Structure 1
Amino acid sequence: MNDMTPLKPNDFATDQEVRWCPGCGDYAILKGVQRTMAEMGARPENTVFISGIGCSSRFPYYMETYGFHTIHGRAPALATGVKLANPDLDVWIITGDGDGLSIGGNHMMHVLRRNLDCQILLFNNEIYGLTKGQYSPTSREGTRSPSTPYGSVDHPAEPGTFALGSGARFIARCIDTAQKQMPGILKRAHAHKGASFVELYQNCIVYNDDVFAGFTEKKQAPFTQLWLEHGQPMLFANGEKGIALDADTLSLKIVHVVDGDWEAAGVRVHDEKNRVMAGLLVAMRHNEGMPVALGVIYEDPAPSFEEDVRTQNVEAAKGKVVDLEALIKKGQTWEVNQKKLREV
């Protein structure tokens, strides 16, 4: 589709049967992404979805764009090649907590460190779904699974902390069912020049059902979710509570807001460029009684990897003439004399 006719979400849906378990959170994420594509005017011919292995990695089959279903954990490496070959393409990496943080952890670290201009959507359901429910790098301690029948003794990885430690310049979080907020977060990720890391809490209805219910349950959501907005106070519980910094312990704490005076209560204003605060916010969900930080947690742009590579190549080519034969013969070369070979 090469014309500029406005597209609808269904224009990004393929004719392939969507094959996830009934009730899987992946369906909601797929709809959210297709809706986002349409709203931001994305073009199928300029968009690529690249995935590894796992339930989430079936995603490219269901997007009417270019796509590449690669091998376990290696989607970032393939995406790097695609972006270097054609920097003008919009590259989206689809991965899961197992695919992206276990066998693909090394690749994930380097694509974030290099700051490749791409959008990384990590579906986190805290379990291996495709291979029938083994515990994953993000599974909680005590998780019982076929591979941990007596309960996992591993300390789980925190995706946001991992991304921040790897040098990510954009970190955000969303919930699979948060369809109102998801398009805005994905648009922000797309607008960011560099690697955007978006963690999506996704419910696995078969092997880890309701693992996030503690903060996703609708009635409790206002009291368990902290939706962040740059330049705005960190308020939740309908504005009756907020997040403040404990100066003695340099940790975050909940404070009560009286008569809407959040400043008097010491509530912090969200600053997306504050890397130290970002680290505290991503870790906050592991502190009992604290809400889960959602939305754009951190953004501090820097030059992208392919932009630097392109600039370097242009500079290196200045004043040089393309000569393939000279390149081939450069260095240690020799000529085979057929006559002398016959004499030997």
Structure 2
Amino acid sequence: MPTINELNTIAQPNWCPGCGNFGILMALKNAIVQLNIPNENILLVSGIGCSGKLPHWIKLYGFHGIHGRALPVATGAKLANHKLTVIAHVGDGDCYSIGTNHFIHAARRNINITCLTHNNQIYGLTKGQAGPTSDKGMKTKTTPRGNIETPINPLTLALTTGATFVARAYAGDVEHLASLIVSAVKHKGFAIVDILQPCVTFNKVNTFDWYKKRVYKLDKKYDPANKEEAYKKALEWGKKIPIGIIYQEKKPSYEEELLQLKKLPLVKHSITNINIKPFIEEFM
């Protein structure tokens, strides 16, 4: 069983002091300890942004890719070795803007990976521009008179495109976030956890205090299998913001339906008796 100390690295995070990402990193470490998965069987994939740095500060296999492309890399890794636990760490600007197409199709295919979105509602790494989840009217460096765009709702998008596990979390509640990560990783299919993550430097609206007054945990009587109710909860924003598992359904994952993977992971298939010469000659 891995311990927190075994997951620590010599390198120290260079996020801004007080950044919500620290809570996410701690929650991830706690979740991995609870899951009791050997370190070598976990792969973290990230894109560009403050969230993209996370694989550097936890002792696991990691792939730090390019902007918006964490999910296709995670998909490829999962299909190459479906025995791996694959977790994508993405930002709202990373996943819900340039990477939206990949998000839609990963959810639609129900590939068995976990997507943890660090949603700070702004482009933090590039110093405070409005992003796809920035509220309408929000003043930023690129919208000094107020953002005129309607923000994307990642939860309703995930529900509409077929994600089988949809949750929202708050970076200020590490214990609750860790429990949601555990549930997301255990889920067989595409799991998205949209994490409300305060950016203490550039987002002066959606602060820790702002969230503390608004977030509430879903009641134990809430049924996450009810998609109609899930849409209602996904649309709640403003005075009250629900956190917890919004929706979950059981459905075969993408790789479970691939005949090529029924017996062995793709990486363990023998290629010694395969002759590709006829295919090459066809184009010569």
The residue that corresponds to 2:37 in the other structure is 42
Aligned pair partner of 1:131 in 126, 133, 137: 126
Per-residue CA distance 1:251-284 (angstroms, 9 max, x = gap): xxxxxxxxxxxxxxxxxxx111111110110101
Q: Unaligned regions of 5+ residues in structure 1, if any?
A: 1-5, 234-269, 316-320, 336-344
Aligned pair partner of 1:280 in 221, 232, 249: 232
TM-score under structure 1 length normalisation: 0.76
Aligned residues: 277
The residue that corresponds to 1:104 in the other structure is 99
Per-residue CA distance 1:224-266 (angstroms, 9 max, x = gap): 333125xx33xxxxxxxxxxxxxxxxxxxxxxxxxxxxxxxxx
- 3-state DSSP of counterpart to 1:127: coil
1:324 maps onto 2:271 in alignment:
no
Q: Unaligned regions of 5+ residues in structure 2, if any?
A: 264-270
The residue that corresponds to 2:247 in the other structure is 298
Per-residue CA distance 1:123-143 (angstroms, 9 max, x = gap): 111000000100000001111
Paired with 2:56 and 2:208, the residues of 1 have a C-alpha distance of 29
CA contact (8 A) 1:172 1:294 kept: yes
Q: What's the CA shift for 1:324?
A: 3.5
Instruction: Select the structure of larger CA radius of gyration.
Output: 1
Paired with 1:62 and 1:120, the residues of 2 have a C-alpha distance of 18
Aligned pair partner of 2:216 in 219, 226, 232: 226
Counterpart residue type for residue 283 of structure 1: L
CA contact (8 A) 1:176 1:200 kept: yes
The residue that corresponds to 1:257 in the other structure is none
Aligned pair partner of 2:49 in 27, 32, 54: 54
The residue that corresponds to 2:2 in the other structure is 7
1:89 maps onto 2:84 in alignment:
yes
Paired with 1:313 and 1:63, the residues of 2 have a C-alpha distance of 30
Q: What's the CA shift for 1:146?
A: 1.9
Rate the CA distance shift 1:324–1:135 in 2: closer, same or farther, 3 A.
same
Q: What's the CA shift for 1:180?
A: 2.4
- 3-state DSSP of counterpart to 1:298: strand
- 3-state DSSP of counterpart to 2:246: strand
Rate the CA distance shift 1:68–1:216 in 2: closer, same or farther, 3 A.
same
Counterpart residue type for residue 303 of structure 1: P
Per-residue CA distance 1:79-125 (angstroms, 9 max, x = gap): 11101111000000000110000001111111111111111000111
Paired with 2:107 and 2:208, the residues of 1 have a C-alpha distance of 30
Q: Quick one: higher RCO (CA 8 Å, sep 6+), 1 or 2?
A: 2
Alignment of 1:129-208 (within 5 A): 129-208=124-203
Paired with 1:164 and 1:62, the residues of 2 have a C-alpha distance of 32
Identity of aligned residues (%): 35
What is the RMSD computed on CA atoms of the aligned residues?
A: 2.2
Q: What's the CA shift for 1:63?
A: 1.4
Counterpart residue type for residue 241 of structure 2: V
Paired with 2:22 and 2:199, the residues of 1 have a C-alpha distance of 11
CA contact (8 A) 1:10 1:34 kept: no
Rate the CA distance shift 1:210–1:141 in 2: closer, same or farther, 3 A.
closer
Alignment of 1:210-221 (within 5 A): 210-213=205-208, 216-217=211-212, 220=213
Q: What's the CA shift for 1:150?
A: 1.6
